[in-house]
Amino acid sequence: MTSTKERILATSLELFNRLGERNVTTNHIAEALGISPGNLYYHFRNKADIVFALFERYQDTVKAFLQVPPGRPLTWQDKVGYFESILQSMWGARFLHRDMAHLLNQDERLRSSYSDFVRRSLEQGLQVYEGLRAAGLIDVGDEEMQALLVNTWVMAASWAGFVHSMVPAERRDEELDRTLLRQGIYQIVCLEAPYLRGEALEHLNAMKTRYSKGNTLELLLPPL
């Protein structure tokens, strides 16, 4: 049986993602669960504690997929795996990406933990890019690789907030939101494109098609 604490986190995540963290109170969470606010406070002192617990789970997810498999070179299929993992993490915790600036301003503990998380993730990401270079899938110098890594991180971390700010409220729905998040991966594919070699370059057009289905980018940008 799922524990009350687990149910609180699952319900909070669903509400935060759907409605936005600022629009959800602990009373809303307790009501959605059919429990008393006092029962919720037994497990979490306040909403900030719930947000922090969800962030800890999110960073564990990122740490798990930003790994270089031991004992073999990376492949272009690994690149697809990284992209899909980024997409799933962005979708699963989209409220964090949309509201991160606000959340960091509200909680010093979260701000400190997030800073450490970014540093660790960039270190892991650099290992991934080094693995791709060693496998002949990208051709990039050290300085450019670091810049590419930072640009990729900024794109992944900020894309959900950019989309949320550009799409009118009356046009938002989960299907469109998820499609637009895929466009964020398309942007990362385009960032990497000049450096791709071998099988990664051969599959570039397929990768672009994979993440640009629906042509929804026209909702965000004026036509060229």
DSSP string covering 141-157: -HHHHHHHHHHHHHHHH
Same domain, 204 and 94: yes
- CB-based contacts of 89: which residues, under 8 Å, 6+ apart? 58, 61, 62, 65
Structural domains of the chain, count: 2
State the pTM of this model: 0.89
Give the pLDDT score at 175.
73
CA distance 183 to 162: 12
Q: Which residues does residue 138 pair with via DSSP β-bridges, in sequence order?
A: 196
Enumerate residue ranges in the chain where pLDDT < 50: 1, 224
Residue 59 lies in a domain: yes
Give the pLDDT score at 162.
87
CA distance 5 to 40: 8
Kindly tell me the sign of the dihedral angle through the C-alpha atoms of 15, 21, 23, 27. positive
Give the pLDDT score at 176.
73
Same domain, 22 and 83: no
Give the pLDDT score at 160.
86
Same domain, 134 and 62: yes
Same domain, 41 and 122: no
Residues 127-151: pLDDT tens digits? Answer: 999 999 999 999 999 999 999 999 9
Residues 153-185: pLDDT tens digits? Answer: 999 999 988 888 887 777 777 777 788 888 999
Q: Assign 138 to helix, strand or coil.
A: strand
Phi, psi for 138 (deg, rounded to 5): -140, 150
Same domain, 59 and 136: yes
